Amino acid sequence: MNNNDLKTMILDYMENGFLENIIDMFKHDEALYPFIIDMIKDERVRVRLGAAALVEELMKQEPEPLINIIPDIGGLLKDQ
């Protein structure tokens, strides 16, 4: 599965309310963390809200990978 397919799958799962499954995926694979940026940028409200819940849960476990994507999150402030 390529990164675009994986991103689409994760964002669609988030829209469908599979937050717990996505949390488990992220806990086992830190390479997925950059997809949080895509969740925040997604036009679907449920995906954006899910991203906030995901970050909240991941911060409890291991904050370091999230700290590493803060510059990318900050870059979203310039995005329309």
pLDDT tens digit string along 35-53? 999 999 999 999 999 999 9
Q: Kindly indicate the confidence band of residue 10, based on its pLDDT and cuts at 50, 70 and 90.
A: very high
Domain locations in the chain?
Answer: 3-78
Mean pLDDT of all residues belonging to the chain? 91
The answer to whether the pTM exceeds 0.75 is yes
Phi-psi region of 62 (alpha: psi -120 to 50; beta: other; left: phi over 0): beta
Q: How far is it, in rounded angstroms, from Cα 77 to Cα 31?
A: 23
Residues 10, 2: contact at Cβ < 8 Å? no
